[in-house]
């Protein structure tokens, strides 16, 4: 199956990302986070004004299409204060496409984009309890470099591992 990536170029195209996130995010995090935190974080990350601001600040959004169907997405951009590093902000795949190598294709594509931006490292945060994602990142050459707990407001925290992959030049 051919992986086709579509770089989003206009605010209006961001709805495709929101549609995928609405399908993937709540069931992924239901076993890990409270319903209240899921609702809070969905607004914090996927409200139109939030995504449009990120887009305007230089965050790239790409949608993976498989046989003409939007299957997943990534978002990435420069890592603050580290010109040799790109941050993979989000990487999600619809459940029906999981377990078939498409997530690895998303990660390979993010690594290629990071190399094209001149980066030597691709970095991401992953919830410490998201074991499925952690296994996928480890399989794809990432290693844990840090453990962080960030206050995101409303009494909620993001309790994450920071993972990083060295990119081949």
Quote the CA–CA distance of 17 and 70 in Å, as a whole number: 9
Confirm whether 144 is domain-assigned.
no
Confirm whether 139 is domain-assigned.
no
What's the distance, Cα to Cα, between the start and end of the chain in Å? Answer: 27
- The count of other CB atoms within 10 Å of the CB of residue 161 is 20
Confirm whether 21 is domain-assigned.
yes
Can you give the residue range of the structural domain that contains 71? 4-124
Confirm whether 149 is domain-assigned.
no
- The count of other CB atoms within 10 Å of the CB of residue 30 is 11
Quote the CA–CA distance of 153 and 144 in Å, as a whole number: 25
Confirm whether 155 is domain-assigned.
no
CATH at 103: 3.40.630.30
User: How confident is the model at residue 139, as a pLDDT?
Assistant: 96
Confirm whether 169 is domain-assigned.
no
Confirm whether 140 is domain-assigned.
no
User: How confident is the model at residue 169, as a pLDDT?
Assistant: 54
Confirm whether 75 is domain-assigned.
yes
Count of the separate structural domains present in the chain: 1
Which residue numbers in the chain have pLDDT < 70? 169
User: How confident is the model at residue 80, as a pLDDT?
Assistant: 85
């Amino acid at each position: 199956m051919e992986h086709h990536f579509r770089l989003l170029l206009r605010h209006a195209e961001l709805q495709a990302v929101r549609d995928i996130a609405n399908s993937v995010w709540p069931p992924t995090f239901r076993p890990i986070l409270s319903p209240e935190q899921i609702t809070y974080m969905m607004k914090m990350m996927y409200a139109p004004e939030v995504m449009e601001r990120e887009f305007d600040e230089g965050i790239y959004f790409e949608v993976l299409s498989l046989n003409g169907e939007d299957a997943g997405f990534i978002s990435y951009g420069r890592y603050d204060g580290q010109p040799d590093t790109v941050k993979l902000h989000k990487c999600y795949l619809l459940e029906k496409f999981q377990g078939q190598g498409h997530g690895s294709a998303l990660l390979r594509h993010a690594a290629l984009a990071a190399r094209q931006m001149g980066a030597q490292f691709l970095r991401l945060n992953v919830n410490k309890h998201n074991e499925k994602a952690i296994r996928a990142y480890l399989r794809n050459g990432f290693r844990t470099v840090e453990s962080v707990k960030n206050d995101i407001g409303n009494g909620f925290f993001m309790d994450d591992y920071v993972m990083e992959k060295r990119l081949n030049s």
